[in-house]
Amino acid sequence: MATKIAIFASGSGSNFQAIQEAIERGELDAKVEVVVTDRPNAFVVTRAENFGIPVHTFTAKTYESKEAYETEIVTLLRDKNVEWIVLAGYMRLIGDTLLSSYTNRIVNIHPSLLPSFPGKDAIGQALAHGVKVTGVTVHLVDEGMDTGPILAQAAVEVVDGNREETETRIHALEHELYTKTLKQLFEK
């Protein structure tokens, strides 16, 4: 049976799209039950609509606490029998409410070889540091920022000072590595 997943995203959603396309090609036995976003205007919303996938949008500042909006999300996910949460460019730290409801069932992708360059703009951090090799990490989520057990990593050569080309390589690798790692995870 297809693994029921929720995708959490705050931005463009190219990783979401790669996962959904892999599902549609029959390469990944999963079903995206809902896309959750904290950015109503993010392009991921348009992508989800194009695939006919429901979107749950929330604006954090309209809730009295993180616990309040995470409780609402957990209720929604339980209602849809979601088994795994897949973070795909979700730029918010996961709190206790989601972590305790989906312990070791939240996976994240990050554009660096963790533990190097956690947090925002990992590609910019790598370029500023002058590293020659960076990469992509897929890991389980714990209470830290881009910490948690590493499931897979792959390296990318930095194209000298060329952010655009480095970014293109990283995103292409992300799309491949995320799908492959999710497949292994869901087949366990």
- List of residues contacting ligand GAR (CB under 6 A): 9, 11-15, 88-89, 109-111, 122, 146, 174
94 is in an annotated binding site: yes
Q: How far is the CB of 175 from ligand GAR (least distance, A)?
A: 8
5 is in an annotated binding site: no
Closer by beta carbon to ligand GAR, 68 or else 155: 155
Neighbours of 16 (CB within 10 A): 26
12 is in an annotated binding site: no
User: Catalytic site residue 110?
Assistant: yes
> What token pair was written down for 61?
């500042």
145 is in an annotated binding site: no
> What token pair was written down for 5?
């997943």
Closer by beta carbon to ligand GAR, 11 or else 54: 11
15 is in an annotated binding site: yes
C-alpha to C-alpha distance for 179 and 183, rounded to whole angstroms: 6
Q: DSSP class of residue 40?
A: T
Contact 62, 72 (CB under 8 A): no
- Side chain identity, residue 156: V
Q: Map tokens 């392009």 to a residue.
A: 43
Give the β-pairing of 30-37 and 84-87. Answer: unpaired
Using Cβ positions, the residue closest to ligand GAR within the complex turns out to be: 89
Q: How far is the CB of 84 from ligand GAR (least distance, A)?
A: 17
Q: Is 110 exposed, middle or buried (0-12, 13-18, 19+ CB in 10 A)?
A: buried
Contact 130, 154 (CB under 8 A): no
Active-site pick, 110, 139, 171, 175: 110
Q: How far is the CB of 138 from ligand GAR (least distance, A)?
A: 9
CA angle at residue 92 from 180 to 6, to 5 degrees? 45
Q: How far is the CB of 14 from ligand GAR (least distance, A)?
A: 3
Closer by beta carbon to ligand GAR, 71 or else 105: 105
Closer by beta carbon to ligand GAR, 77 or else 170: 170
Known binding-site residue numbers for (6R)-10-formyltetrahydrofolate: 66, 91-94, 108
Positions marked active-site: 110
Known binding-site residue numbers: 13-15, 66, 91-94, 108
